[in-house]
Every structure is written in structure tokens, then in C-alpha cells.
């Protein structure tokens, strides 16, 4: 039987682990204990014990021999935790000038914050729909829907696109993507696969200029793009709830 605690009443460790399961489920077909432990900086035996506790409490269920997935109760806690973190990330970027590659570690303390404080921060920055990395901020009632986006590595050649979101907390990767200008909202006039390899050449149109970059396979897998009209007709990615 699932635990009876509300999302905000769950322990910090529970919220962290369930949120990470949610984030990894967006990137991988299966969430494994190994990747969870690596991302949370927890030893394999420790993350295995914690996951088993959450399975018994009804927040997680097994997905094959080594995989995990969220139950309905676990998803509610994970979405609440993700909402808090993403709001605080957006607040730090807008109010204190944090870069997108440094904001996630700084926002880890959001899960310990009072719900009312988080909502006041959200109102102060205009209730953006997306976090600095482009992911939708879950609604307070738990609604959460990803855009119809696919990894850049799977986007058809010669089709324009717009960068939708980036699934990575790796600071070096995020910093390099910023140097390439592959950030949410950026318009890609063309995407071309380079023959005999997994690299992709993109043509970026921004600030009335055009630049070309070659993107390696590892980066192309974490940058998600969606269909876009011409830049001038493209609606903004961030509006208000």
C-alpha cells in the first residue's frame, strides 16, 4: 500500500531519489540503479537499499531485473519535487544571474523550502512555463506534459527546428552547449547529418546572424528539438500559467 504522506511531507532523500527517477525516465528507456547511484553520488548498495524501501512503500516498482519505474504515488512526489527545484532554478537565473550550467547544484536546497516561499518566488518571476534547461515546470495540480520533441540525433536532415529542452546536469556539457548557443528557444535553420559518423552539423540563426557548428553524438542525444516555423513567426517558448 502506498505511503500516505503528501508530496511535501516525504523526506528529502525520498524526494531526491524519486525526482531523479523521473528525470532519468525522460532520457532513458529504463532507469537503472547504477545510473541512479552515479547521479545521486550514492554507492550501489545504498541506492539499492533505498530503492527497495520505496518499492515496499509503494512509490516505486521493479522494471525487469535491474530497472525501476514510478508508481502513481511516487510520480506525485517526484513532480512536486521537480516543480520546486525548477522554480528555484528559474528564480536564481532571473534574480541573481546564475548561469544554466551552475544553477542546478545551487537549487538542490529547494526541496527543503516552504511551499509558500516557493510559490512567492514563482509569482515574482512571472510564473514561467519552463525552467532554464527548457523542461516544463509541473503545474501545482500535478499536470506535466513534455513538448513533442526528439533528440537532435534523431531529427531529420534539412528540416528546421527549435531547441526545446536539454536533459543533462553535467556542468561541462551545459557550458559547452552554451558556447555553441544550443540552448532552449534557439532556432536551427538546418540540421545535417555528417556522412560516416554520428556527428551533426547545425546552422543557427540568432540575432540576425548565422553560425554553423558540428555537434558530437553525446551532445546530440541530450539536446531535444521540436518543429518550428520561420524565426520571425515562431511564438515564444515561455509564457505565463
Query: In the chain, which ranges are E strands?
Result: 31-32, 60-63, 67-70, 150-151, 161-166, 187-193, 200-206, 209-215, 223-227
Q: What are the chain's domains?
A: 1-144 (1.10.10.10), 150-232 (2.30.30.90)
Q: How far apart are CA 23 and CA 166, in angstroms?
A: 11
237 pLDDT higher than 60: no
Helix, strand, coil in percent for the chain, rounding step 5: 45, 20, 35
pLDDT 10s digits, 206-233: 877 889 999 999 999 999 999 976 545 4
Average pLDDT of the chain is 89
pLDDT 10s digits, 54-78: 999 999 999 887 789 999 999 999 9
pLDDT 10s digits, 195-207: 877 899 999 988 7
Mean pLDDT of 157-163: 91
pLDDT 10s digits, 99-113: 999 998 888 889 899
Residue 104: all three cell numbers together = 542546478
Contact residues for 42 (Cβ-Cβ < 8 A; gap 6+): 36, 50
Residue 136: the pLDDT is: 97
Amino acid at each position: 500500500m502506498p505511503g500516505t504522506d503528501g508530496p511535501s511531507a516525504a523526506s528529502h532523500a525520498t524526494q531526491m531519489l524519486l525526482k531523479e527517477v523521473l528525470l532519468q525516465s525522460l532520457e532513458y528507456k529504463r532507469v537503472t540503479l547504477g545510473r541512479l547511484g552515479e547521479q545521486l553520488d550514492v554507492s550501489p548498495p545504498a541506492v539499492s537499499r533505498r530503492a527497495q524501501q520505496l518499492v515496499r512503500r509503494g512509490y516505486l516498482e521493479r522494471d525487469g531485473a535491474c530497472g525501476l519505474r514510478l508508481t502513481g504515488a511516487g510520480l506525485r512526489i517526484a513532480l512536486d519535487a521537480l516543480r520546486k527545484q525548477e522554480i528555484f532554478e528559474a528564480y536564481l537565473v532571473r534574480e541573481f544571474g546564475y548561469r544554466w550550467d551552475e544553477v542546478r547544484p545551487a537549487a538542490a536546497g529547494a526541496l527543503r523550502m516552504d511551499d509558500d516561499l516557493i510559490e512567492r518566488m514563482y509569482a515574482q518571476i512571472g510564473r514561467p512555463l519552463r525552467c532554464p534547461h527548457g523542461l516544463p515546470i509541473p503545474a501545482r495540480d500535478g499536470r506535466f506534459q513534455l513538448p513533442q520533441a526528439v533528440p537532435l540525433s534523431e531529427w531529420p536532415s534539412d528540416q528546421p527546428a527549435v531547441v526545446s529542452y536539454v536533459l543533462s546536469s553535467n556542468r561541462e556539457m551545459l557550458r559547452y552547449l552554451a558556447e555553441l548557443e544550443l540552448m532552449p528557444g534557439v532556432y536551427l535553420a538546418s540540421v545535417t547529418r555528417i556522412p560516416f559518423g554520428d556527428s551533426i552539423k547545425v546552422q543557427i540563426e540568432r540575432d540576425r546572424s548565422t553560425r554553423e557548428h558540428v555537434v558530437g553524438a553525446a551532445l546530440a542525444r541530450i539536446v531535444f528539438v521540436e518543429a518550428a516555423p520561420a524565426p520571425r513567426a515562431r511564438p515564444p517558448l515561455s509564457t505565463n500559467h
